[in-house]
Amino acid sequence: QSALTQPASVSGSPGQSITISCTGTNSDVGDYVSWYQQDPGKAPKLIIYDVSNRPSGVSNRFSGSKSGNTASLTISGLQAEDGADYYCSSYTRTSTLVFGGGTRVTVL
Amino acid sequence: QVQLVESGGGLVKPGGSLRLSCAASGVSLSDYYMSWIRQAPGKGLEWVANIRSGGDIVYYAESVKGRFTISRDNAKKSLSLQMNSLRVEDTAVYYCARAFLPGDWGGRSIRHWGQGTLVTVSS
């Protein structure tokens, strides 16, 4: 069981916005939350770090936020290429990294 | 071009050992945390271990503590994972990964990933 809880799946139509939540269960979701996108058979790609920052080259359709013990990833203007698995992670006070269970995004 | 290339994966019996290696090119390692992260077939990501830039401090997931050892050689731009007392549940693709940002809290996000090497533990 992951220390971070994500919905198993989220879907949306092209052009819509969707939000994926990431809630701490037995750990705090601090300020060091990252989000990763993973296509089948590929390595994950960092899309958000430190809750709401985008690395260079990542589309501004991806945005992150946090409220209390829940972090969220929002994908605006959903496109077919956004269909993938998404994982949140949180860095703990003991310098360990925990991942959420992952969310499969389906573009209808 | 940034490349992290893992090697050393394969089939091993329960209780056996395996050593994974990761060679880096096109990217600096010396100022960055390095990590091993694994993914069991059809499952999510699981962090395995971190090592600080100087190699002096390491952290492990509870599931591998006492069995796995992470190490690095900055001069050779390489990372290793010695895996002992392997269990069936250690079966996974193992990714070598470099932190996005340098420094002591750099291990909080991963920018560079290898392509992964498959470790299968089965009798």
| pLDDT over 70 percentage in chain A | 96
In B63-102, the residues whose Cβ lies within 8 Å of chain A are 95, 100-101
CA distance A61 to A99: 22
Whether the CA torsion A52, B44, A68, A21 is positive or negative: it is positive
Q: Count A/B contacts: CB-CB distance under 8 Å.
A: 66
- When scoring A37, A90, A95 by the number of chain B Cβ atoms within 10 A, the one with the most, hence best to mutate, is A95
Q: How far is B47 from chain A (nearest CA, A)?
A: 6
pLDDT digits (tens, 9 = 90+) for A25-48: 766 788 899 999 999 999 999 999
Q: Length of chain B in residues, anyone?
A: 123
Please judge whether B100 and A94 are an interchain contact, meaning their C-beta atoms are less than 8 angstroms apart: no
How far apart are alpha carbons B29 and B97 in whole angstroms? 10
Cross-strand partners of B28: none
CA of B17 vs chain A CAs: smallest distance (Å): 24
Q: B-chain residues within 8 Å CB-CB of A71?
A: none
Query: Mean pLDDT, consecutive 10-residue segments, chain B of 123 residues?
Result: 93 98 91 96 96 94 97 96 98 96 89 96 97
Q: Could B100 and A96 be called an inter-chain contact, meaning their C-beta atoms sit closer than 8 Å?
A: no
User: Are A97 and B35 a contacting pair at CB < 8 A?
Assistant: yes
Query: Residue A102: what pLDDT?
Result: 97
Contacts of B4 (CB under 8 A, 6+ apart): B22, B23, B24, B27, B96, B97, B98, B112, B113, B114, B115
pLDDT in the model for residue B84: 98
3-class DSSP state of B21:
strand
Say whether A91 and B107 touch across the interface (CB within 8 A): yes
User: CB–CB of A19/A73 below 8 Å?
Assistant: yes
Determine the distance in angstroms separating the CA of A52 from the nearest CA of chain B, rounded to an integer: 12
